[in-house]
Amino acid sequence: MRRILLAVYHLYFMVAQVSDERRERYPGEIHKLTQERKPAPKPPQIIFEGNAPADVTKNAEIKAMVADAQGRWGRIDILHNNVGVSLSGGDAELLDITEEAFDRCVAINLKSCILAAKHVIPIMRKQGSGAIINISSMAAITTYPYVAYKATKSAMIAFTEQLAYQNAEYGIRANVILPGLMNTPMAVDTRAREFKKTRAEVEADRDSKVPLRRKMGTGWDVANAALFLASDEANFITGVTLPVDGGSSVRRG
Catalytic residues: 149
**C-alpha–C-alpha distance, residues 237 and 191, integer Å:** 35
**C-alpha–C-alpha distance, residues 132 and 118, integer Å:** 12
DSSP 73-131: HS---EEEE----SGGGT---TTT--HHHHHHHHIIIIIHHHHHHHHHHHHHHHHT-EE
Task: Answer whether 66's CB lies under 8 Å from 170's CB.
Answer: no
Q: Do the bridges between strand 130-135 and strand 78-81 make them parallel or antiparallel, or are there none, so unpaired? A: parallel
**C-alpha–C-alpha distance, residues 132 and 120, integer Å:** 9
Q: What are phi and psi of 201, to 5 degrees?
A: -65, -45
| CA torsion, ordered 71, 73, 79, 80, to nearest 10 deg | -110
3-state class (DSSP) for residue 50: strand
Task: Answer whether 156's CB lies under 8 Å from 112's CB.
Answer: no
Chain-centre distance for alpha carbon 89:
17
**C-alpha–C-alpha distance, residues 88 and 103, integer Å:** 13
